[in-house]
């Protein structure tokens, strides 16, 4: 990247950072227990919820507590359980149709990022019936209040319960894009750690590392605020303290609850302060090879942090200090290296590979270009890298000795 491109990126990011206090960020209101959802519905005179979830979760009985509470309180519901991983425009169209046919007046998303993103997009489609989802792609194209949206996350990772984004895949072209608008932030959130007890260890590990990546990328970036730094530090500490426990003992409700809280805090942090090249490359790999998002992030995180070099030492040191990985006698460089080593250790312990063998060498230049186009100039990364430098990182991750 030449000096002019760098100056352009930094100026763009500076303007975005200055705008942070002016933007209408809001946090979802936290509800305790399913009856609280019914209470809110009754107070707001809402009579029928569209529950957006997927087939597996429904069959596992994950929605039962919610549905029982709605029935007990004489509230109606319809369930859309057709959401697939990487929800499609068809999912959104079907769910929106069911909403209309069933006379629903609010949305409850219960599931991981896919169900939540699907419900957000349904809300956007309902208030913008004359626009296609593709026309709402990008920033601030919805600009209308959604029907009340309740989010009940069943994984601790995406943070979608608090973010402005809904990522949707076109059912025909498979093009994946994000709709970003403040009105997509769910109105209410409910954490039920018991729903996560049956989550397989591999999913627990990948989603937990996704949340850690959110916290770290937001924190080491240049557009942090006092609030996003605090949220990111708290999230990283909680994840580092709990992720091995939930991986080894999925039934540990206390640790599951901690991870839910951490994923939420990390979501708040990156909503304000963005992510970085880990996410940019992970999205490129997800688009090309369908690599699960959390897994790609977990593998990439140490490589990208090493590529940031000394520009990230101080922040990583502060994070490690806060998380109790070492004390103040440790120098920033050593501290940063200790944080990266800890991430590598966690990956190893949770059977996350060091490299990704799905990456074909001939695809790397295009993958790097896609990642660079997503990240530059938007992501306020500690060190700007062009497509050529990202190629080097992806090449390291794909090395044939996997
Ligand atoms: Zn992520």
Task: Kindly state whether residue 7 falls inside one of the protein's structural domains.
Answer: no
173 and 310 in a common domain = no
C-alpha 159 – ligand 1 centre gap (Å): 8
Tokens 């018991």 belong to residue = 194
Give the distance (Å) from ligand 1 centre to CA of residue 208: 10
**112 C-alpha vs ligand 1 centroid, how far in Å?**
12
Q: Is residue 12 part of a domain?
A: no
What is the CATH number for 61? 3.40.50.1970
- How far apart are alpha carbons 194 and 62 in whole angstroms? 9
- Where does residue 192 rank: exposed (0-12), middle (13-18), buried (19+ CB within 10 A)? buried
- Do 174 and 248 fall within a single domain? no
Same domain, 208 and 70: no
| Residue 362 belongs to a domain | yes
Say how many Å lie between the CA of residue 48 and the centre of ligand 1: 32
Q: Tell me how far the alpha carbon of residue 287 lies from the centroid of ligand 1, in angstroms.
A: 14
Between the CA of 211 and the centroid of ligand 1 the distance, in Å, is 7
User: Ligand 1 centre from 92 Cα, in Å?
Assistant: 21
CA 13–ligand 1 middle distance (angstroms): 20
CA of 29 to the centre of ligand 1 (A): 22
Task: Say if pTM beats, i.e. exceeds, 0.85.
Answer: yes
Between the CA of 226 and the centroid of ligand 1 the distance, in Å, is 22
In which domain, by residue range, is 294 found?
200-398
SS3 63: coil
Low-confidence ranges of the chain (pLDDT < 50): 402
The total number of structural domains in the chain stands at 2
Of 166, 190, 214, the last residue of a domain is 190
CA 259 / ligand 1 centre spacing (Å): 15
In this structure, the answer to whether residues 139 and 241 fall within a common structural domain is no
- The pLDDT, as a whole number, for residue 230 is 98
Distance from Cα 102 to the centre of ligand 1, integer Å: 33
Calculate how far, in angstroms, residue 293's C-alpha sits from the geometric centre of ligand 1. Answer: 6
In a domain, 126, yes or no: yes
Ligand 1 geometric centre to CA of 6 (Å):
25
Radius of gyration from C-alpha coordinates of the chain: 21
CATH of the domain at 258: 1.20.1090.10
Q: Evaluate whether 179 touches 124 at the Cβ level (below 8 Å).
A: yes
Domain boundary among 190, 213, 236: 190
Dist. CA 17 → ligand 1 center (Å): 21
- Ligand 1 centroid to Cα of residue 100, in Å, is 32
pLDDT score at 402: 43
**Last residue of a domain, which of 190, 208, 230?**
190
308 shares its domain with 352: yes
CA 272 – ligand 1 centroid, Å: 14
Residues 145 and 225 in one domain: no
Residues 153 and 218 reside in one and the same domain: no
Q: Is there a single domain that holds both residue 51 and residue 183? A: yes
In a domain, 48, yes or no: yes
Q: Let me know if residue 23 belongs to a domain.
A: no
Q: How far is the CA of 169 from the centre of ligand 1 (A)?
A: 16
167 and 227 housed in the same domain: no
Ligand 1 center to 235 CA (angstroms):
14
Ligand 1 centre and the CA of 39: distance in Å?
32
Q: Give the C-alpha separation, 100 to 77, whole Å.
A: 12
Same domain, 288 and 248: yes
Q: How far is CA 4 from CA 14, 318, 377, 378, in A?
A: 15, 31, 12, 16
DSSP 3-state of 399 = coil
CA–CA separation, 381 and 393 (whole Å): 15
The answer to whether residue 86 sits within a structural domain is: yes
Query: How far does residue 82's CA lie from ligand 1's centre (Å)?
Result: 23
Assess whether 327 and 207 both reside in one domain.
yes
Say whether both 345 and 207 belong to one domain.
Answer: yes
Phi-psi region of 375 (alpha: psi -120 to 50; beta: other; left: phi over 0): alpha
Kindly give the residue spans of alpha helices, DSSP state H, lying in 147-292.
201-220, 226-248, 253-273, 277-289
Let me know if residue 8 belongs to a domain. Answer: no
């Amino acid at each position: 990247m030449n000096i002019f491109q760098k100056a352009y990126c930094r100026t763009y990011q500076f303007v975005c950072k200055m705008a942070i206090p002016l933007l209408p960020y809001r946090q979802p209101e936290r509800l305790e227990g399913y009856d609280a959802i019914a209470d809110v519905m009754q107070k707001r005179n809402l009579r029928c919820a569209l529950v957006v979830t997927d087939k597996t979760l429904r069959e596992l009985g994950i929605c039962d507590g919610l549905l029982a509470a709605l029935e007990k309180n004489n509230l109606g519901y319809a369930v859309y359980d057709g959401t697939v991983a990487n929800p499609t425009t068809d999912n959104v169209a079907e769910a929106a149709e069911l909403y209309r046919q069933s006379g629903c007046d609010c949305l409850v998303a219960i599931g991981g990022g896919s169900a939540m993103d699907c419900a957000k997009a349904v809300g956007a489609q309902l208030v913008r019936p004359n626009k296609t989802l593709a026309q709402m792609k990008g920033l601030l194209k919805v600009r209308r209040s959604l029907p009340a949206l309740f989010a009940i996350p069943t994984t601790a990772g995406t943070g979608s319960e608090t973010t402005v984004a809904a990522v949707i895949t076109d059912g025909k072209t498979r093009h994946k894009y994000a709709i970003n608008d403040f009105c997509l932030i769910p109105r209410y959130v409910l954490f039920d750690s018991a729903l996560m007890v049956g989550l397989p260890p591999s999913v627990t590990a990948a989603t937990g590392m996704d949340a850690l990546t959110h916290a770290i990328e937001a924190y080491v970036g240049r557009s942090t605020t006092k609030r996003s730094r605090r949220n990111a530090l708290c999230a990283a500490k909680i994840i580092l303290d709990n992720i091995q426990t939930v991986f080894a003992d999925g039934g540990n409700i206390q640790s599951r609850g901690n991870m839910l809280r951490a994923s939420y805090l990390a979501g708040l942090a990156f909503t304000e302060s963005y992510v970085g090249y880990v996410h940019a490359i992970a999205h490129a790999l997800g688009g090309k090879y369908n690599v699960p998002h959390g897994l790609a992030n977990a593998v990439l995180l140490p490589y990208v942090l090493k590529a940031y070099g000394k520009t990230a030492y101080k922040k990583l040191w502060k994070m490690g200090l806060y998380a109790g990985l070492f004390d103040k006698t440790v120098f920033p460089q050593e501290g940063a290296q200790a944080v990266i080593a800890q991430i590598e250790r966690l990956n190893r312990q949770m059977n996350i590979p060091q490299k990704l063998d799905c990456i074909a060498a001939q695809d790397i230049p295009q993958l790097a270009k896609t990642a660079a186009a997503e990240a530059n100039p938007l992501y306020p990364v500690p060190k700007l890298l062009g497509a050529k430098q990202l190629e080097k990182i992806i090449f390291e991750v794909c090395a044939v000795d996997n």
